[in-house]
Amino acid sequence: MTVSAPDATAVLADLLADGEVVVLSGAGLSTESGIPDYRGPAARGRPATPMTYQTFVGSEAARRRYWARSHVGWRHVTGAAPNAGHRAVAALQRHGLLAGIITQNVDGLHQAAGARDVLELHGALDRVVCLGCGARTPRAALDARLRAANPGWTAAAGAVNPDGDVVLGDAQVAAFRTVDCADCGGVLKPDVVFFGENVARPLVERCFALTERAGTLLVLGTSLTVESGYRFVRRAARLAVPVAIVNQGPTRGDADALVRIDAPLGTTLTGLAARLTA
């Protein structure tokens, strides 16, 4: 059923009061921090052409384009602050009501709000991985190397995507110099799961295990269009684990939801946390 305010937080609070809640969050949770999503209301009219894994590994030109654009855009993501929705989720965890947090986001804002042991389904933008030796290094270290390799290079960001990608002109991209792994000279990639790339199976199994033991699966800010998140809703529904969804706009999992709330996440989750942690 779809529930509207002011009844929404009361219904959700009753459902979640027994604890063992597993949160599954998506980009819609971070829009109030200034990070746009791909498919929610803020994305309408803004084209999104995210990088695919196959394109990235198969083309030096594509890697140059990605790193030039991300060099500008990731600062927008890393400079974002947690919003009321992130803080509410962290508060629910501190009060022992959560069994786990699974996020499709790569922005690290759950952790910045104080959440612990977050399972990052799609990785994190603040890390870089070498496709040659597998070494993982901080994104800040790569940023320093790219700055050194591109003295005087400047570019203004246009629209920023959830993965930190922005639109730049061809001339700006052509003038950008990339760098390779400092250890082995291999290709560097952000430690995120690109479209067309698989989430590591052990991580998927951990998420399935959490879902199967959940008292409730609480879905926040995702349309569930991508299978990597939607499969947990399907598993929960198959096992009769209650599913609650808070999202602005319809989702692929609406038919499986016991409670479906279409409302801003910050105010909804703040009210929910206030009821449950008083």
Residues noted as catalytic: 122
Query: Is 2 marked as binding a ligand?
Result: no
Residue with tokens 């920023």: 160
Q: Which tokens go with 72? A: 């500008």
184 labeled binding residue? yes
Supply 270's token pair.
């703040």
Judge whether 104 is annotated as a binding position.
yes
- Distance (Å, whole) CA 75 – CA 122: 19
- 133 annotated as ligand-binding: yes
Asked if residue 58 belongs to a known ligand binding site, the reply is no
Instruction: Please tell me whether 248 is known to bind a ligand.
Output: yes
Does 222 show up as a binding residue in the annotation? yes
Tell me how far apart the alpha carbons of residues 262 and 269 are, in angstroms, rounded to a whole number: 12
Amino acid, single-letter form, for residue 166: V
Sign for the pseudo-dihedral over CA of 184, 146, 127, 174: negative
Give the pairing type, strands 123-130 and 188-192: antiparallel
Q: Identify the bridge partners of residue 119 per DSSP, sorted by sequence position.
A: 102
247 is in an annotated binding site: yes
Q: Is 85 annotated as a binding residue?
A: no
- Amino acid sitting at position 144: A
Binding-site members are: 104-107, 130, 133, 181, 184, 221-223, 247-249, 265
Binding-site members for NAD(+) are: 104-107, 221-223, 247-249, 265
Binding-site members for Zn(2+) are: 130, 133, 181, 184
